[in-house]
Structure 1
């Protein structure tokens, strides 16, 4: 049985104006029943009638969903620092005032429209099962995304920040954001070709999605992965080490156990370009006769109600090992190329096979090591098992971004198509 409770405040400001404040609180429980290798599942938003919840799960057993796994007995897990009590002292007024400070600072640096989205979250969960597992966790989270929009478009330069409690955004980060925006103000039409391409952290999910698919126990079981039976092989450039690390509690949201009660651990997916591990939940580990890796999470790439979801294999804490080069040095190493600041259509292409075809939203153009503007109507395409062998350099700083924590990564010889 899994119980979760979450309270959340969201604040949205556009062009210095407060547009929306929402406060929500949700709680609920879900239950999985195993009987004669059949699975029953039910969930509820209220535990006032626990008997009804159990009855609904018993009814779902009649659906005949076959399973081979047993519920785990997890007695001990690492103690993680996931909750900062200061989050309870954070008021909406304090967050709005911080946003206004950011607006005032950026107004001195750029003419672009600035939008800010901020959120505080407090979550509590508990997992119990008849095998004897009884685990609980609390977490606090403060995040802020700042975007500077280009005129007449919905695209711009953005950066996200994530903490366990309210913090002011450093002015050096704001200055870098404004500088990058200003350098891309001029809209260009240019020819495409095989170019150097720098993926920013905000666009890295377009590549990582393919790796997540290929290394999942679900893909292996359904024979959809091009990485089947390839552990120990070099699949990427030796500069790339990719890890799923839910125990890294210097970042918000760390987890000592997954949504099935299996203990989490640092899990290396790719080590210096060599494929080291796949990942599994209870279900697919049992189907493939391997041990679960603590990756059974109630999650979806698209927004959804996690209480109503069943656990599936998921890399929730993926990150790259940082490189050795400052961001500006990576740009200086581009004689001619593109900076992908955002990916439009990351779902396009044959994801299980590693193919991608994305629009640049936006894409900055580099000549002789300098950003000279942004490209109009451009896209890039390729396959990660070719592209990620062509790494020139990796940034020395890691940033929070969609689906993980990433540095900027510079690749060479990538197909870029434009209307120019």
Structure 2
């Protein structure tokens, strides 16, 4: 496998680096930053279609952009759910009217999205969702009732794509539909932040009480929501995987730096663990590049295998960070009793956040079931 970049990629890197350098000169709000990216065409460079205000870039150039963005320590993206998940899904399954309505607004950075999948009783097992959408007699509107949970960035989102049950009495993956729902519906949509042990609250509960969605904003046809939803999850295997790994590399470098500064790296056991983390991360990168560069679609278990690998790796990195810190890792936050966010250092935050890595996005147990049943063809255990 050839992982080298060519002259065109080097020129693209120069342009990306120059743009980031020029625009990361002053503080800005998340929405303003999204609009800056959109104004100059940096949103949607990996979309299969152009013409929505987005420049296009081949795969290696998308990797270059992800690398330069991370290298520049640019702001965390609040538009990535719309750009990297919904937009490719609309390109694959949406109508021309839906593409024309939503893709330009995403590309401009004007509209932010969140994902309405998980529910209190249906997290990793999405087929058990209960949120219901009933079509009005006029046929133009759906009314949605139910609850979603762990909804990232719902507090900032303008829209939510919601997986809901549109066929009463249906079970499992049958009778589900994929709806685009505006969030600005006071009294019908209630967003409640979930305070985590890290002190942050980027996840939310979202309650729908007769929330409205236009029938024209049904993607893929009524009852085809499972197919559309699974297609969307497949896009999580894209270049965003490499972006995530770049973030992992920065965290690993921080842990190594602390280990060297504190002398913890002199412990042969800790040194061996640091080397293993580095080697495993490089392996995950090569695997992601191989998968992305393949002319064939990944098998059904590719996403599950990747989730198992990075979830376990990141969790072990958090544990290693605490081992490197030693006794100082046990020192608590500045003041646990105050309403403001806990004052954790970077390694404590890393450890606490990674406790959830093997749960969110599909628990390890669910991922192993998918691999066993859909890839290896093993029979289900009788219930």
TM-score (norm. length: structure 2) = 0.25
Larger Rg: 1
User: If each structure's helix is expressed as a fraction of its own residues, which one has the higher value?
Assistant: 2
User: If each structure's strand is expressed as a fraction of its own residues, which one has the higher value?
Assistant: 1
